[in-house]
């Protein structure tokens, strides 16, 4: 170790119930090196504790000069700090709005003091409300799509049958070619309607390794990448195997990666990542563990007028798009009691697949 490199601070033991808290909790030493954190803090920072404990908090969370000075003053003066609706900016995760309480913990005797951080993300409730609204909109969309599909498929069947009967009565091969075109187009429209309805089969669940699925998708996409587009992985090795339908998850991820590739064009980067989330709410249920699989690209972003309807059938921001890839991916993930969320701004678009890890929900109330 270089003499100029600060020695990592030893981690502190923490009680098991820390990971049941929806509030993010962290403890630093007097030099603001992380000594303890719970699962909710891992979620907000976007990194596991095994990776960052012992190192300065400022390596993972942006601390401006004013805040750093206040933190050290709080420790010296033994005065707590309360920050309301503070914009927090992790260096490896999305920024978030939080109420922050920082409490000095004085050491006994010659033991140095510490700081206790409590962060309550106040924009989570907005996310949960947005998720509930999305589910209601999709339920209405599915009902309308089923009704339209019924009205379309019935006359298509009659049209196809009539064309087949007509073909049997015609001797002229040129005229039979017209009936062949009618039958082909009727079959194409029927297949399109079936795709709009989404998957009909229930998942065939087996134990699957999510990183193997991500790497499989990365391999499939790598062979069709333009020279200027790169794809890489960034995985959390702590994610356990889950019970899921491998083929369905492969298809959902392929649809998301294809969408990113089309958005980039001939130049850019796609990042496939995985993280474990603790005490996280998906579809109105709070789960102790949730696996998050993300597909991120640095393309132009999704137009604002399309963003709120991106998972509806036939909605697309591209002239050549079908508008079915994302709705199908959402349907496949929802069959696993999960959800796909979209976060987009110019220069960064991220689709998150949220999959509950096996086990009963932690709570029915959306606290996280």
Exposed, middle or buried by CB within 10 Å (0-12, 13-18, 19+), for 41?
Answer: buried
Alpha carbon distance 30, 42 (integer Å): 21
Residue 7 lies in a domain: no
Least confident of 2-16, 61-75, 246-260: 2-16
Domain hosting 136: range is 127-197
Rounded to an integer, the average pLDDT of 153-158 is: 76
Q: What is the CATH number of the domain that holds 316?
A: 3.30.565.10
Alpha carbon distance 329, 248 (integer Å): 8
Least confident of 17-21, 56-60, 195-199: 195-199
For 340-365, write each residue's pLDDT tens digit.
888 888 888 999 999 998 754 554 44
Q: Are 339 and 311 in contact (CB under 8 A)?
A: no
Same structural domain, 118 and 154: no
Same structural domain, 243 and 351: yes
Same structural domain, 94 and 117: yes
Same structural domain, 275 and 347: yes
Distances, alpha carbon 209 to alpha carbons 68, 70, 158, 244, 248, in Å = 41, 45, 46, 9, 14
Residue 39 lies in a domain: yes
Average pLDDT over all residues of the chain: 81
Q: What is the CATH number of the domain that holds 100?
A: 3.30.450.20
CB within 8 Å of 96: residues ≥ 6 apart = 44, 87, 88, 90, 121, 123
Residue 3 has pLDDT above 50, yes or no: no
Residue 73 lies in a domain: yes
Alpha carbon distance 152, 247 (integer Å): 29
For 69-107, write each residue's pLDDT tens digit.
888 888 888 889 998 878 788 887 777 788 899 999 877
Exposed, middle or buried by CB within 10 Å (0-12, 13-18, 19+), for 53?
Answer: buried
Same structural domain, 249 and 328: yes
Triad 340, 342, 245: Cα angle to 5° = 20
Cβ neighbours around 200 below 10 Å, total: 7
* pLDDT computed for residue 155 by the predictor: 78
Q: What is the largest CA-CA distance in the chain?
A: 105
Of the candidates 173, 183, 350, the residue with the CA atom closest to the CA atom of residue 257:
350
pLDDT band at 141 (very low <50, low <70, confident <90, very high): low
Same structural domain, 233 and 305: yes
**The residue to which tokens 């990365």 are assigned:** 218
Rounded to an integer, the average pLDDT of 107-124 is: 78
Same structural domain, 343 and 220: yes
pTM of the model: 0.59
Picking from 179, 197, 215, the residue at the C-terminal end of a domain is: 197
Q: Are 239 and 291 in contact (CB under 8 A)?
A: yes
Q: Which residue has the higher pLDDT, 44 or 315?
A: 44
For 23-42, write each residue's pLDDT tens digit.
899 999 988 999 999 988 98
């Amino acid at each position: 170790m270089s003499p100029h490199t600060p020695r990592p601070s030893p981690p502190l033991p923490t009680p098991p119930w820390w990971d049941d808290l929806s509030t993010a909790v962290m403890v630093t030493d007097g030099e603001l090196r992380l000594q303890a954190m719970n699962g909710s803090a891992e979620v907000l920072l976007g990194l596991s504790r095994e990776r960052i404990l012992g190192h300065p908090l400022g390596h993972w969370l942006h601390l401006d000069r004013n805040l750093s000075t206040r933190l050290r003053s709080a420790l010296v003066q033994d005065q707590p700090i309360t920050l309301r609706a503070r914009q927090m900016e992790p260096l490896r995760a999305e920024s978030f709005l939080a109420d922050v309480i920082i409490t000095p913990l004085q050491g006994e005797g010659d033991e140095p003091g510490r700081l206790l951080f409590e962060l309550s993300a106040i924009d989570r409730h907005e996310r949960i409300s947005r998720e509930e609204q999305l589910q209601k909109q999709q339920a209405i969309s599915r009902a309308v799509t089923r009704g339209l599909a019924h009205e379309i498929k019935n006359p298509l069947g009659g049209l196809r049958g009539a064309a087949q009967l007509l073909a049997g009565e015609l001797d002229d091969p040129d005229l039979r070619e017209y009936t062949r075109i009618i039958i082909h187009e009727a079959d194409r429209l029927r297949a399109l309607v079936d795709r709009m309805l989404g998957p009909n089969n229930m998942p065939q669940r087996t134990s699957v390794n999510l990183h193997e699925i991500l790497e499989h998708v990365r391999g499939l996409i790598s062979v069709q990448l333009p020279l200027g587009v790169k794809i890489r992985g960034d995985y959390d090795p702590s994610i356990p195997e889950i019970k899921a339908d491998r083929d369905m998850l492969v298809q959902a991820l392929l649809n998301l990666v294809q969408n990113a590739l089309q958005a980039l064009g001939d130049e850019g980067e796609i990042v496939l990542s995985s993280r474990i989330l603790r005490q996280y709410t998906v579809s109105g249920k709070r789960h102790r563990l949730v696996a998050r699989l993300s597909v991120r690209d640095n393309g132009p972003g999704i137009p604002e007028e399309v963003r709120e309807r991106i998972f509806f059938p036939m909605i697309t921001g591209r002239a050549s798009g079908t508008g079915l890839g994302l709705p199908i991916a959402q349907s496949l993930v929802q069959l696993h009691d999960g959800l796909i969320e979209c976060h987009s701004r110019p220069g960064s678009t991220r689709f998150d697949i949220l999959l509950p890890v096996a086990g009963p929900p932690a709570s029915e109330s959306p606290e996280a």
